[in-house]
Amino acid sequence: MLDGFIARNLKLQSNFGAKLDSIADLIFAMAIFIVITININLPIWIWVCVILVAVIRIVSYCIGFYKYHTFSSLHTYLNKITGALIFMFPLLYVIFSIEFIGAIICVVAFVSSFEELLLTVKSKELNRDIKGVFCL
């Protein structure tokens, strides 16, 4: 989670590194999802949220690929918060109920995916490091 911060501070960032970071984040999220699916009985409404967020992200990535001819995952604050919540899910699940933490993650993930879709549609050029919708 700190790789981008470290790369920027050491002036070692690159387009390849940004793409690799996004792909690694997706693989990590998928791995967590598989582990959760195997070990935790999730309510149906969480599955609906997961599918909705996945569809929005796939549409956003397809639009981004069409517009920019490359994988276009953005490093917004909301995407980073979503990633942090997914990373902390196993601990949060032990502390809070599945309904509570599930609702928080679903809301943040939905808003972050919708923000990414909006930024992808509205932006004239790809800026992976845009911080959010109000930073255009």
Which two structure tokens, joined as six digits, stand for 38?
């195997």
CA distance 65 to 70: 5
CA dihedral 83, 57, 29, 24 (to 10 degrees): -90
> Which carries the bigger pLDDT value, residue 135 or residue 133?
133
Entry pTM: 0.78
CA distance 8 to 84: 19
Q: For residue range 80-116, what is the model confidence (pLDDT) as tens digits?
A: 899 889 888 888 988 999 999 999 999 999 999 999 9
CA distance 15 to 100: 37
CA distance 101 to 84: 13
What are the two backbone dihedrals, phi and then psi, of residue 50, each rounded to the nearest 5 degrees?
-60, -45
CB 91 within 8 A of CB 127: no
pLDDT of residue 96: 93
How many CB atoms neighbour CB 75 within 10 A?
Answer: 18
Exposure of 102 by Cβ count < 10 A (0-12 exposed, 13-18 middle, 19+ buried)?
buried
pLDDT of residue 125: 93
- Size of the chain in residues: 136
